[in-house]
Chain A
Amino acid sequence: MYKVTVGMATCGISAGADKVYKSFETFLKDNKDITLATTGCMGMCYKEPLVEITDGKTVYLYGDVDEKKAQKIVESHLKNNTPVDEFIVLKDYKSGAEQQFNERQYKIVLRNCGLIDPDSIEEYEKRDGYKAIRKVLSSMTPDEVIDVVFKSGLRGRGGAGFLTGQKWKFAKSSVADQKYVICNADEGDPGAFMDRSVLEGDPHSVIEGMMICGYAIGASVGYIYCRAEYPLAVRRLKKAIRLLEEKGYLGDNLFGSNFSFRIKLKEGAGAFVCGEETALMQSIEGKRGPPRPRPPYPAVKGLWGKPTNINNVETFANVPWIILNGWEKFAAMGTEKSKGTKVFAIAGKAVRTGLVEVPMGITIRDVVFNVCGGIKDGKKFKAVQMGGPSGGCIPESLADTQIDYEQITKTGAIMGSGGLVVMDETTCMVEMARFFLNFTQLESCGKCTSCRIGTLRMLEILERIVEGKGKEDDIDRLVEMGEYIKKTSQCGLGQTAPNPVLTTIKYFRDEYEAHIREKRCPAHSCGALVKFSIIPEKCTGCMICARQCPANCISGEKKKPHVIDQSKCTRCGKCFTVCNFDAILKD
């Protein structure tokens, strides 16, 4: 009796999981003994599409599955009981080719992701779902709930790291006829997809966390503000809310108590600044979203002027676990001030990229080399970028820094919401800084002059540096302007926008200097500063570069050395990456 589960989160679907699902569906049409199911993100984005097969005793996880492999798996594994070893990436979550990926992880937030059908309340309940809210309503006072969350040491996972229990305490102490709970799901950092994966894979854990918060602070209405670019997450949330209303888990007098709670879903409309809490509330009210000064904090005067508590998706997903397992167990994990676990979306040059959850206190080196298997193609590890456009780069020399709010802040980066980009020797740090600043510059709401105009001026300087037109005092000017923008901007966006630039100058000043003084990019990455040519002795005339060249500027006869027309070359580097004979010279 087999059960086949296909991972159907956004990354799985874009890798072709729906086609794989359909082929299993066709193969198993007449086979009533085998159940076919879907689930959310299993974390191993680099092996998508993923298919899990279990016979009730052993769990086999297949990776990189396509329609052909699916057919083979059906024939061999499902019909003849012979697992296809060559496609198996993990067996029983502990052995197999990819076991190292899971070894150092500890899953609280992702406890159900990839294991349950996110559309099913029953499957969530089978894994202790909605037990925490029942426990809270039947045996705890609001103050006791806040006390447990406070003692657990849980801090806001959106990035700033404010103590969640403290925040709840403030919201509870405000007196008003109406209060609100808001779940901030406006995950906008480029390269971060933690919240999306949780919402797609386990929406109920977030909703249960919001209910517990509502009870604790005395709110009866909750809002989920979800990024509109996450259509699947929006669909799953809508369905979850509807099913819960039908089942009587949302509404009046929940679980036999006199606690009432309703949830409304609001879709964002594509403004990064709306991740800032005061901007987010304006957006829910239907307005433009420029941030407003604090105080008053939302706990005093929030949505529609009423006391409001805002937490991030990951923060809420932690809450039911803490209630059921006790604050002691949560607080036992991590460092002195950072407790529990942290979810990271790993992207960039690591061997394994995807979604991981590790205990606080683990070192960055541990994450990069043990969880993610080191750097692709045997290249050299250079730095990690944490916190996206608000964060900074941590160089290899500081890779023994622990994952801990204070320790990471000390390096100049921030914990952030969990985007972690691994960079190797071929990543240019100046270009990386330009990339992030370009993002924040476009997303600046324009309210504060220093953020609106300052980031643009900084971007112009960075652009001329990567083009080899930098001036001698550009570095000092960047630092000076960066400090001003941090000091004189009102909200988190402006206050942190210069971070990627300032940290790269701090740790990689030599790269900036090489661009400015020697007109050279040490990572051989900045297009304008490198020249591509063909080494005639090595070129076999295979024509692959000529065919792939987007500028059509490589010419030559078949089986004879080719040449690059330097006047037409856009320096994209494609020829360099496609050549099988190391015949392209990049200098």
Chain B
Amino acid sequence: MQTIPESKFFERETIEHTLNDPSQVIPLLQKVQEKEGYVPEKAIEEISEITGVSVSNIFSVITFYKQFRLRPPGKYMIRVCDGTACHVNDARTLLDILNDELKLEGTDTTEDGLFTVMPVACLGCCSLAPVIMINEDTHGKLTPQKLRKIIKEYQKKGKETN
């Protein structure tokens, strides 16, 4: 009987269910990311120990799938839909505005750690195009003006709670 490895990220029960099971690499990564917002280096080592899959193999899985992040995200995750319907309704202007307002120069997260901007393929509410999602809230039928206003509100809210 193998001893259950010590873990900072997973409950004992989870580890028991996933021990030596390579097919659990993705679910475990998803679990860590849900809790931490990203996959910390230490978690990769733990998953390797639990599932028996090598660290380099796990790293290759992380980089293959778009869902996983290796760096912490901002407090507000802004998902900008660039699906077909949003695209024909000028989603790219929204992205330009976000880059401009949040002064993102080639990075996806603002310096103050408040926002992460991520273009996504389709949020699935095409009738509201163009759409963005900030954390769990959807904002639809956006105009440049509306978007600037929303960002200002979140900036204010973020600073107050910090």
Which A residues form the contact surface with B (CB < 8 A)? 10-11, 13-15, 45-46, 48, 188-193, 196, 228-230, 266-272, 283-289, 345, 347-349, 353-354, 385, 388, 419, 421, 423, 427, 435, 439, 445, 547-550, 570, 572-574, 578
Contact = CB atoms under 8 A, between A and B. Distances in A.
Given A11-B125, A229-B120, A271-B66, A286 B61 contact: yes
Interface in B59-111: 60-61, 64-68, 82-85, 87-88, 90, 93, 96-97, 100
Nearest to A354: B127
B37 interface: no
B3 interface: no
B144 interface: yes
Given A269-B30, A289-B64, A349 B88 contact: yes
A174 B29 CA distance: 34
Given A348-B88, A548-B144, A550-B93, A285 B23 contact: yes
A157 to B, nearest CB: 18
Contacts of B129: 347
Contacts of B85: 191, 347-348, 353, 421
A270 B124 contact: no
Of the candidates B30, B85, B138, the one having the most CB atoms from chain A within 10 angstroms of its own CB is B85
Contacts of B117: none
Contacts of A570: 93, 96
Given A46-B127, A190-B83, A228 B144 contact: no
27 contacts: A11-B124, A11-B128, A13-B138, A14-B131, A14-B140, A45-B125, A45-B127, A190-B121, A193-B122, A229-B121, A229-B124, A269-B29, A270-B67, A271-B66, A286-B61, A287-B61, A289-B65, A347-B129, A353-B126, A354-B127, A385-B84, A421-B85, A435-B84, A548-B145, A550-B93, A573-B90, A574-B143
B25 interface: yes
Q: Which 3 A-B pairs have the closest CB atoms?
A: A191-B84, A269-B65, A270-B66
Contacts of A573: 90
A439 B121 contact: yes
Contact of B127 (A15, A228, A423): A15
A288 to B, nearest CB: 4
A578 B65 CA distance: 40
Nearest to B68: A269
Nearest to B131: A14
Contact of A288 (B51, B64, B121, B144): B64
Contact of B23 (A192, A268, A284): A284
Contact of B126 (A193, A284, A286, A550): A193
Contacts of A11: 124-128
Contacts of B26: 266-267, 269, 283, 286
A82 B152 CA distance: 43
A272 to B, nearest CB: 7
Given A285-B22, A287-B61, A435 B124 contact: no
Contacts of B88: 348-349, 421, 423, 427
Nearest to B85: A347
B11 to A, nearest CB: 18
Given A427-B88, A548-B145, A550-B96, A14 B125 contact: yes
A14 B26 CA distance: 28
A519 to B, nearest CB: 21
Given A285-B22, A548-B143, A228 B67 contact: yes
A573 B92 CA distance: 12
Interface residues of B, number: 46
Contacts of A548: 143-145
A322 B60 CA distance: 43
Contact of A286 (B24, B84, B138): B24
B143 to A, nearest CB: 7
Contacts of A550: 93, 96-97, 100, 144
Contacts of B53: 286
Given A191-B85, A288-B64, 8 more contacts: A15-B140, A229-B120, A268-B65, A270-B65, A270-B66, A288-B65, A547-B145, A550-B144
B78 to A, nearest CB: 15
A549 B120 CA distance: 25
A394 to B, nearest CB: 15
Given A15-B140, A45-B127, A272 B121 contact: yes
B127 A271 contact: no
Contacts of A287: 22, 25, 57, 61
A388 B85 CA distance: 12
B72 to A, nearest CB: 18
Contacts of A15: 125, 127-128, 140
Nearest to B120: A229
A531 B131 CA distance: 27
Interface in B109-162: 120-129, 131, 138, 140, 143-145
B84 to A, nearest CB: 3
Contacts of A48: 127
Interface in B9-40: 21-27, 29-30
Contacts of A419: 84
A266 B24 CA distance: 10
Contacts of B97: 550
A269 B67 contact: yes
Contacts of B61: 286-288
B82 to A, nearest CB: 7
A427 B90 CA distance: 11
Given A348-B85, A570-B96, A191 B122 contact: yes
Contacts of A268: 65, 67
B52 to A, nearest CB: 11
Of the candidates B25, B26, B121, B122, the one having the most CB atoms from chain A within 10 angstroms of its own CB is B122
Contacts of A193: 122, 124, 126
A347 B144 contact: no
A262 to B, nearest CB: 15
Nearest to A228: B67
Contact of A572 (B29, B93, B121, B138): B93
Nearest to A285: B23
B121 A230 contact: no
Given A14-B131, A286-B22, A288-B60, A196 B84 contact: no
Nearest to A435: B87
Contacts of B131: 14
Of the candidates B53, B64, B100, the one having the most CB atoms from chain A within 10 angstroms of its own CB is B64
A48 B125 CA distance: 10
A495 to B, nearest CB: 20
Nearest to B125: A14
Of the candidates B60, B84, B128, the one having the most CB atoms from chain A within 10 angstroms of its own CB is B84
